[in-house]
Amino acid sequence: MKKLLFPAIFAAVALAQAPSSIQQSASRLDAALLQQTVAATATTLTLQPSSSQSVYIYQIDFSNCEDATGQAVAAPTYVTTTNLGGATTATSLAWVMASGGATAAGSCVQTFSVSYPTGLKSTIPGTAVTVITPTFLGHQTIRVTVTYAFAP
Amino acid sequence: MKRTAILFLSLCALALSLSAQGPTNVQQTNSRLDAALLALSSHSSGATLTLTPLGSQSIYIYEIDVTNCAGASAVSAAAQTALTTTNLTGSPQWQIGSGTTAGLCVQNFVVTYPTGLKSQVPGTPVTVVLPTFATNQTVGVNVVYSSAP
């Protein structure tokens, strides 16, 4: 009996000390997991988290293009947002979209991306962030792609 | 005597087992405490964006983006202007062109600070000042930031 007791004690200690892994992993829990894209006039992308989570935006891509006909020149329009920027924001985040003339037919007059290395967190948890495309001019297409994640 | 020693060792083993089993959570989480929470936006001539910290905290800027576009009529060529700042070490500025074809943008650029650009004086706002626009010109500016110690 006594001979068995010491090995049992040793085994219990050895098992209990099985270490927790504290090394870095190639897996990233803070990676962006979700994307939405739209190329339709006056359309709202809705990024809806669950009640306890927030939206973290990591990147937004913009392409503002014309078809082979080209559009009539006009005043610029705006891609707009809601639920970003905190309570002190006087105006929501917005990006100017050119409304170019036929000289730009068949080309894209704007292609750019904004990125947020640590994420841009939504103002109100549990509430959707929206990204809204403007009303397109004839022969214009604006594509917006949003890369994001949901997290507490 | 031997019985006492065995009992003592058993109790030590139990104590070790219990203490060793207390897990420490060291894994990454998908929540980011360093995420940017605040943003200001303007496309008005000569406007000042005022990034006010909480109390004695500092401002950390993570991203600034600029679009410089013409309206329905061309922007007459003129001298360059600048987007200016205060309370950032070195007072960075960015040149803004004046003059482009109607309906087009001459500049779309994004400035990103992966670890944040910290304000120079804690407790003091950072300002980002748009230039006075030329006729038919629209310059849009977004600033994404946080307030933190």
B45 at A interface, C-beta within 8 A? no
Determine the 3-state secondary structure of B39 from DSSP: strand
ipTM of the complex: 0.80
Q: Closest residue of A to B72, CA-based? A: A74
Task: Identify whether B14 is part of a domain.
Answer: no
* B45 within 8 A of B133, measured Cβ to Cβ: yes
Q: Kindly state the tokens that stand for B71.
A: 């309206």
Strand B38-42 to B81-86 pairing: unpaired
Q: What is the pLDDT of residues B2-39, one digit of tens each?
A: 666 666 666 555 555 555 555 555 556 788 889 999 99
- Mean pLDDT, chain A, integer: 86
Most confident of A13-17, A27-31, A53-57, B71-75: A53-57
B1, pLDDT greater than 80: no
Instruction: Work out the pLDDT band at A15, boundaries 50, 70, 90.
Output: low
Quick one: DSSP state of residue B134? P
From CA B41, how far away is CA A114, in angstroms rounded? 14
Strand order in the sheet with B137-148: B38-42, B137-148, B58-70, B105-118
pLDDT given for residue A107 in this prediction: 87
Counting residues of chain B whose pLDDT is more than 70, the rounded percentage is 81
How does DSSP assign B58-85, residue by residue? EEEEEEEEEEEEE-SSPBPP---EEEEE
The beta-carbon neighbor of A75 closest among B6, B41, B72 is B72
B100, pLDDT greater than 80: no
B135 at A interface, C-beta within 8 A? no
Is A93 exposed, middle or buried, given 0-12, 13-18 or 19+ CB atoms closer than 10 A? Answer: buried
- Distances in Å between the Cα of A79 and the Cα atoms of A18, A132, B40, B108 are 54, 6, 15, 14
Q: A–B: how many Cβ contacts below 8 A?
A: 181
Counting residues of chain A whose pLDDT is more than 90, the rounded percentage is 61
The beta-carbon neighbor of A118 closest among B14, B39, B62 is B62
Q: Do B103 and A96 touch (CB under 8 A)?
A: no
Task: Identify whether B75 is part of a domain.
Answer: yes
CATH number for the domain harbouring residue B140:
2.60.120
Q: What is the mean pLDDT of residues A48-60?
A: 96
Q: Which of residues 55-74 of B touch A (CB under 8 A)?
A: 62-63, 65, 67, 69-72
**Count of domains forming chain B:** 1
Task: Identify whether B93 is part of a domain.
Answer: yes
Task: Count other Cβ atoms within 10 Å, centred on residue B25.
Answer: 7
A24, pLDDT greater than 80: no
Task: Identify whether B72 is part of a domain.
Answer: yes
Global pTM? 0.82
Whole domain around residue B94: which residue ranges? 36-148
Q: Which amino acid is at B133?
A: F
Distance from CA of B91 to the nearest CA of A (A): 22
Distance from CA of A14 to the nearest CA of B (A): 8
* B139 within 8 A of B68, measured Cβ to Cβ: yes
Q: What is the mean pLDDT of residues B100-117?
A: 92
Q: Where exactly are the structural domains of chain A? A: 44-151
B4: left (phi over 0), alpha (psi -120 to 50) or beta: alpha
A49, pLDDT greater than 90: yes
* B39 within 8 A of A93, measured Cβ to Cβ: yes
From CA B31, how far away is CA B35, in angstroms rounded? 9
pLDDT given for residue B2 in this prediction: 64
Q: Do B140 and A95 touch (CB under 8 A)?
A: yes
- Distances in Å between the Cα of A30 and the Cα atoms of A51, A118, B34, B35 are 19, 9, 12, 11
pLDDT given for residue B72 in this prediction: 85
pLDDT given for residue A7 in this prediction: 58
Q: Do B31 and A123 touch (CB under 8 A)?
A: no
pLDDT given for residue B16 in this prediction: 53
Q: What is the pLDDT of residues B43-93, one digit of tens each?
A: 999 999 999 999 999 999 999 999 999 988 888 888 899 999 999 999 999
Determine the 3-state secondary structure of B135 from DSSP: coil
From CA B18, how far away is CA B15, in angstroms rounded? 5
